[in-house]
Structure 1
Amino acid sequence: MRGPTRLLTGTAFAVAVAGFGAAPAYGGTAGGLEVYPSSVVPGGQVTVNSADCGDDGAAAGDASAVGAGPFTLAPSTHEGEAIGQFRVPPSAQPGTYEITATCGASGRQVMGDLVVTLTSTRDQVYPRGSVKTGVGGALGPDPVQTAAGVAALAVAAAGGTWLLHRRARGDGI
């Protein structure tokens, strides 16, 4: 058992080390500009925030790449974080766009990516209803009809049981 234990321990260690180098799950870059949502349809609202602008927290944002133009990032209730918003123009073409912000006090530039798509993942419509395969469901999804079918089956089962019981006693049919 010594070999498999070492193998599993080594594998777990390798996965843990690889996880430290992985990219964050949000839309921006690590230590840069966080873009939420990271994927948006034309006409959608985008929120941008960054903790890299220091205690001042103010920054001048630029979304000209996507056609939205300049926007302001203001200090928020989160310590040292600046937050701003802009709307993607309805005429924006699908693609990946770089959104930038320049910190007010330090002049540091931070960047994040925004993906413009034609389909929204937020308001996805899921199918409803039954599938018309021709197998089963003869009564349909109506609860009254379903109850009537169950009652008919119960009466048939009770009648069959009664007939079998009479036959077993020798009473005949």
Structure 2
Amino acid sequence: MRRTARLLTGTALAVAVAGPAAAPVYAGDTGSLEVSPAGVAPGSDVTVGTAACGPDGTASGNTGAAGGGSFTLAAGAHGPTGRFRVPPSALPGTYEIVVTCSNGRRVTGDLLVTLAATREQVRPHGHVDTGVGGALGPDPVQTAAGVAALAVAAAGGTWLLHRRARGDGI
């Protein structure tokens, strides 16, 4: 128990002494990659930008994780920006977009590929062609012929059962 207390006290003391100098560096400190929109459907256009390259910097990006290729980012007011198209063959999921600045910095961002651009629930509608058919088929002549065939079969069956019941035989 004393060993654990000493270890925790020593660690807390080291953090307090080191202070902000030992703080971890996050991607936001050096610039991050802004992906807009963050969630898209396959075949959609995406705009990316970063301030990590500086206002006059340029960069090249890679969408290989999503099945795409490379693209370029040109200098802009708030850093380089660029556009790319998500491949139509991209599967739903989260993909990492990598941008390498001309100053050597490398920044990444996430792209969410969904099945549809909107997240509304899609309800099924319309005719389902199962091959079984129905009472309201596409051809009224075939429907009438089927009804007539069933009527003849029912009348014939009733007549045969009636003769048998009377003892006339078949």
Instruction: Return the TM-score normalized by structure 2.
Output: 0.51
TM-align CA RMSD: 2.5
The yes-or-no answer on 1:73 pairing with 2:79 is no
TM-superposed deviation, 1:29: 6.8
The aligned residue for residue 92 of structure 2 is 94
Equivalent runs, 1:48-87 vs 2, <5 Å: 48-76=48-76, 78-79=77-78, 81-87=79-85
The aligned residue for residue 39 of structure 1 is 39
3-state SS, counterpart of residue 75 of structure 1: coil
Question: Separation in 2 of the partners of 1:67 and 1:60?
Answer: 16
Question: Separation in 2 of the partners of 1:103 and 1:125?
Answer: 40
3-state SS, counterpart of residue 74 of structure 2: strand
Percent identity, please: 55
The aligned residue for residue 108 of structure 1 is 105
Question: Separation in 2 of the partners of 1:118 and 1:53?
Answer: 33
Which letter does structure 1 place at the counterpart of 2:46?
V
Question: Separation in 1 of the partners of 2:85 and 2:111?
Answer: 12
Which letter does structure 1 place at the counterpart of 2:81?
I
The aligned residue for residue 16 of structure 2 is none
Uncovered stretches (5+) of structure 1, i.e. residues with no partner = 1-27, 127-173
Question: Separation in 2 of the partners of 1:96 and 1:70?
Answer: 18
Larger % of helix: which? 2
TM-superposed deviation, 1:54: 1.5
After superposition, give the CA deviation of every residue in 1:67-113 in whole Å (9 maximum; x if it has no partner): 1110000001x24x100000001100000000010001x21100000
Tell me which of 116, 119, 140 is aligned to 2:116.
119
Q: How many residue pairs are counted as aligned between the two chains?
A: 96
The aligned residue for residue 164 of structure 1 is none
3-state SS, counterpart of residue 65 of structure 2: helix
3-state SS, counterpart of residue 119 of structure 1: coil
After superposition, give the CA deviation of every residue in 1:125-160 in whole Å (9 maximum; x if it has no partner): 99xxxxxxxxxxxxxxxxxxxxxxxxxxxxxxxxxx
Larger Rg: 2
More deviation, 113-122/56-65: 113-122
- Per the alignment, do residues 29 and 93 of structure 1 end up closer, same or farther by CA in structure 2, a change over 3 Å counting? farther
